Chain A
């Protein structure tokens, strides 16, 4: 069965600090990888996704993630966070065989102080 681990449950940063959120997955086949963001009281929004090709993917709002197949990892990064990045971030995976359910990690709650 697929599973996703997010190591940091709560992260507190000051504005302009760099961000890296860890995500590891467990699955025996080929997967698609996603990072979603959930702002307080809002729905899940897609930040970025990896299906194939270049393992370094760029998403919206200056976020990027790197897929390292050998480490089963898909860490999210941002060079300089803003107060508006305060949100919960979910890593998710699904099978690369079409319309498959997403399996989410437990989420990382990021608080950026001004």
Chain B
């Protein structure tokens, strides 16, 4: 079965650079969530989209922005990167239109800021 795809899997950036993380949900899933997991930490919710509209917002810095496109894939744009942004970024998808509560996680993008 198709799973959530994230690219790139690994990314190394320098401070003050920008990064773009991509997430391709499971086919027909219309809801995408982004989570950030710092070293030794639990995943923290950043932002979510349903049918291309932002549905919820968590602890996402103003330097970050995200959107969901017409094909339901989502991109997380991160600017003015800081050392503290180094983390594993997970994307999850679900079938929100059917009130599906289960989220399927992608493999994550490991971002290292040097």
Contacts and interface: CB of A to CB of B under 8 A. Distances in A.
Contacts of A94: 101
B28 interface: no
A94 to B, nearest CB: 6
Among all A-B residue pairs, the 4 with the closest Cβ atoms: A99-B96, A101-B45, A104-B42, A44-B105
Given A32-B101, A46-B102, A99 B42 contact: no
B72 interface: no
Interface in A81-95: 90, 94
B102 A101 contact: no
Nearest to B97: A99
A49 B105 contact: no
A26 interface: no
A103 B35 CA distance: 10
A35 B24 CA distance: 24
Interface in B72-114: 90, 92, 94, 96, 99-108
20 contacts: A36-B105, A43-B90, A43-B107, A43-B108, A46-B104, A90-B42, A99-B31, A99-B48, A99-B55, A99-B100, A99-B101, A101-B33, A101-B58, A102-B33, A102-B43, A102-B92, A103-B45, A105-B42, A106-B41, A106-B42
Given A32-B101, A44-B90, A96-B101, A102 B108 contact: no
